């Protein structure tokens, strides 16, 4: 769906008029273009609190960015540590002394806060960000790396939890399409940071801001990984893939190298076939609520060597307030949006047609986080999806399988096109980007979770909502 307001605001005349009236001008977000390097391009300023331990992983990851140059603050407490990490990674780092007037711009600011052990040491954050935050470029990236609070001692836990407020506020301050995100890493799991760093520093995270991801231990080896085709050799199944977000997920997973089985209901067969033909995939007509659907999906998976990735995307809304909701609306939404997913997962696990080291990615919604008037059925189902993600982590971990969810905010699809105008406009503008997201933004986040590189990433819910004010 086109956003007329954004188009006018970005025209030559519109820019002048909207600025004069103090109206927000939604920036045209930089997104990943096919054939381009999918990582950060430009200068990356790296800083750290004294005693931090993620710098080696950060520098090793940046070493794989062919179009990035690394800079660090001259004279900062952790300068020597960063230089040592850079030397170990074979990366060249330039020293930089901030000057308000020098016109310097950075594409990304990365701050390793893992060394912060108490609230007094939070001061290191101000020392790093205060002199350089204005120098973040349009569509810039901020990544803060912290220690998992739940696994820290009390003083460190308190201080590290503070980082959530930091990135959420930075995300609201930076504007111009820039984003800020937080990665909590377990002590000793730093080698698993490559995948979230690649994602949050790239154009693929265009509509993801104010979010946190937890990274635990894993056996992913970054050394010879092909970041341009991260899903090469993998087989994926995407439900609800005939249109909207599901079709975008199928496109992105295929672009990233996966063989994709696309599933949708029989009445969508023509659209489904078009998606399958476009990506060289396989179309599977099925209603996921049908009694035989889990078996049909499992048998199809087996015929293709088992699934490495399943994306539970199919979902519906049937909005009514609780008082006016017919029971069939309740039953239908719960069964499509969560019940069928539970049954399919169980069948795939029983039949071992979800391969070891597999990925389960679910589509929740900010409605499941914040609740929404007229959506008791939908919000219940989408909150239950989060419960399923959290509950299945330990069960799946035994076989090296991860499970995560995305929670889209306002995404431009036929589902949101059906929302009445005034509510639709509010949904579009009430976020840090002043615009709706695109289906591809959700798809990129799903591909990040689906990657073999995300072995240490399980049990997360990442909102793809441009930092929506709803439920924030």
Q: How far is the CB of 464 from ligand NAD (least distance, A)?
A: 8
Q: How many residues bind ligand NAD (CB under 6 A)?
A: 27
Neighbours of 83 (CB within 10 A): 16
Q: How far is the CB of 344 from ligand NAD (least distance, A)?
A: 10
What tokens were used for 138? 């349009």
Binding-site member from 192, 235, 239, 298 for ligand NAD (CB under 6 A): 239
What tokens were used for 333? 């939404």
Which residue's CB is nearer to ligand NAD, number 218 or number 408?
A: 408
Which residue's CB is nearer to ligand NAD, number 18 or number 449?
A: 449
Which 8-state DSSP code applies to residue 329? H
Helix (H, G, I), strand (E, B) or coil at 5: helix
Which residue's CB is nearer to ligand NAD, number 124 or number 369?
A: 369
**Greatest pairwise CA separation for the chain in angstroms:** 67
Which residue's CB is nearer to ligand NAD, number 213 or number 411?
A: 411
The residue with tokens 């105008």 is 421
Instruction: Considering only residues 379 through 418, tell me which ones interact with ligand NAD, judged by CB under 6 A.
Output: 408, 410-411, 413-416
- List the x/- string, 299-338, binding to ligand NAD by CB under 6 A: --------------xxxx-------------------x--
Quick one: angle between helices 376-397 and 340-350, nearest 10?
20
Q: How far is the CB of 244 from ligand NAD (least distance, A)?
A: 2
Euclidean distance between CA atoms 471 and 365, whole angstroms: 11
Q: How far is the CB of 71 from ligand NAD (least distance, A)?
A: 38
Binding window for ligand NAD (CB under 6 A); candidates: 39-47, 283-291, 343-351, 451-459 = 283-291
Q: How far is the CB of 243 from ligand NAD (least distance, A)?
A: 5
Binding window for ligand NAD (CB under 6 A); candidates: 11-19, 115-123, 194-202, 240-248 = 240-248
User: Annotated catalytic sites, by residue?
Assistant: 378
State whether the Cα torsion 413-417-419-425 is positive or negative: positive
Which residue's CB is nearer to ligand NAD, number 347 or number 455?
A: 347
Secondary structure (DSSP) of 199-262: HHTSGGGTT--S-EEEE-------TT--TTSTTTT-EEEEES-SSHHHHHHHHHHHHTT-EEEE
How wide is the angle at C-alpha 358 spanned by C-alphas 447 and 182, nearest 5°? Answer: 45
β-bridge partners, 136: 106
Which residue's CB is nearer to ligand NAD, number 198 or number 367?
A: 367
Interface with ligand NAD includes 281 (CB under 6 A)?
Answer: no
Euclidean distance between CA atoms 77 and 96, whole angstroms: 14
State whether the Cα torsion 134-135-141-146 is positive or negative: negative
Helix (H, G, I), strand (E, B) or coil at 274: helix
Instruction: Considering only residues 333 through 372, tell me which ones interact with ligand NAD, judged by CB under 6 A.
Output: 336, 363, 365
β-bridge partners, 184: 146, 214
Binding window for ligand NAD (CB under 6 A); candidates: 12-20, 243-251, 276-284, 318-326 = 243-251
The residue with tokens 């997201």 is 437
Binding window for ligand NAD (CB under 6 A); candidates: 116-124, 188-196, 205-213, 239-247 = 239-247
Q: How far is the CB of 391 from ligand NAD (least distance, A)?
A: 19
- List the x/- string, 415-434, binding to ligand NAD by CB under 6 A: xx------------------
β-bridge partners, 441: none
What tokens were used for 421? 């105008």
Which residue's CB is nearer to ligand NAD, number 158 or number 415?
A: 415
How far is residue 342 from each of residues 63, 241, 313, 369, 377, measured CA to CA in Å? 41, 19, 13, 20, 17
State whether the Cα torsion 115-118-123-126 is positive or negative: positive
Instruction: Considering only residues 18 through 77, tell me which ones interact with ligand NAD, judged by CB under 6 A.
Output: none
Euclidean distance between CA atoms 170 and 148, whole angstroms: 20
- List the x/- string, 445-464, binding to ligand NAD by CB under 6 A: --------------------
Interface with ligand NAD includes 250 (CB under 6 A)?
Answer: no
Interface with ligand NAD includes 242 (CB under 6 A)?
Answer: yes
Interface with ligand NAD includes 178 (CB under 6 A)?
Answer: no
Give me the residues that bind ligand NAD (CB under 6 A), please. Answer: 239-240, 242-246, 264-265, 268, 287-289, 313-316, 336, 363, 365, 408, 410-411, 413-416
């Amino acid at each position: 769906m086109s956003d007329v307001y954004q188009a006018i605001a970005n025209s030559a005349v519109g820019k002048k008029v909207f600025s004069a009236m103090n109206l927000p001008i939604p920036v045209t977000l930089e997104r990943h273009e096919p054939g381009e390097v999918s990582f950060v391009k430009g200068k990356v300023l790296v800083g750290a609190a004294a005693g931090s331990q993620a710098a080696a992983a950060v520098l090793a990851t940046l070493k794989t960015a062919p179009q990035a140059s690394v800079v660090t603050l001259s004279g900062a407490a952790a300068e020597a540590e960063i230089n040592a990490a850079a030397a170990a990674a074979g990366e060249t780092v330039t020293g930089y002394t901030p000057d308000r007037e020098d016109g310097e711009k950075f594409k990304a600011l990365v701050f390793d806060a893992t060394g912060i052990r108490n609230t007094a040491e939070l001061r290191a954050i101000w020392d790093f960000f205060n002199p350089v935050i204005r120098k973040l470029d349009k569509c810039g990236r901020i990544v803060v790396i912290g220690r998992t609070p739940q696994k820290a001692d009390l003083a460190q836990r308190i201080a590290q939890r503070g980082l959530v407020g930091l990135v959420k506020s930075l995300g609201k301050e930076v504007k111009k399409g820039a984003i800020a995100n937080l990665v909590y890493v377990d002590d000793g799991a730093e080698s698993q940071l490559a995948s979230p760093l690649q994602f949050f520093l790239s154009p693929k995270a265009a509509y993801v801001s104010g979010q946190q991801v937890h990274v635990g231990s894993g056996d992913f080896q970054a050394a010879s990984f092909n970041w341009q085709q991260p899903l090469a050799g993998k087989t994926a199944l995407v439900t609800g893939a005939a249109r909207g977000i599901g079709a975008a997920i199928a496109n992105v997973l295929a672009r990233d190298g996966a063989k994709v089985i696309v599933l949708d209901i029989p009445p969508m067969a023509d659209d489904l076939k078009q998606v399958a033909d476009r990506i060289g995939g396989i179309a599977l007509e099925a209603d996921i609520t049908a009694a035989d659907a889990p078996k049909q999906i499992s048998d199809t998976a087996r015929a293709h060597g088992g699934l490495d990735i399943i994306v539970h995307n199919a979902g519906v809304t049937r909005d009514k307030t609780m008082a006016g909701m017919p029971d069939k609306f309740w039953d239908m939404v719960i069964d499509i949006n969560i019940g069928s997913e539970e049954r399919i997962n169980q069948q795939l696990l029983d039949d071992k047609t979800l391969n070891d080291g597999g990925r389960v990615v679910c589509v929740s919604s900010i409605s499941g986080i914040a609740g929404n008037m007229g959506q008791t059925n939908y919000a219940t189902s989408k909150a239950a999806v989060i419960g399923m993600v959290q509950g299945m982590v330990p069960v799946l971990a035994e076989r090296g399988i991860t499970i995560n969810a995305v929670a889209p905010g306002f995404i431009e699809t036929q589902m949101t096109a059906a929302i009445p105008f005034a509510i639709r406009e509010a949904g579009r503008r009430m976020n840090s980007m002043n615009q709706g997201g695109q289906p591809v933004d959700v798809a990129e986040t799903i591909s990040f979770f689906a990657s073999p590189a995300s072995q240490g990433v399980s049990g997360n819910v990442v909102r793809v909502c441009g930092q929506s004010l709803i439920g924030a």
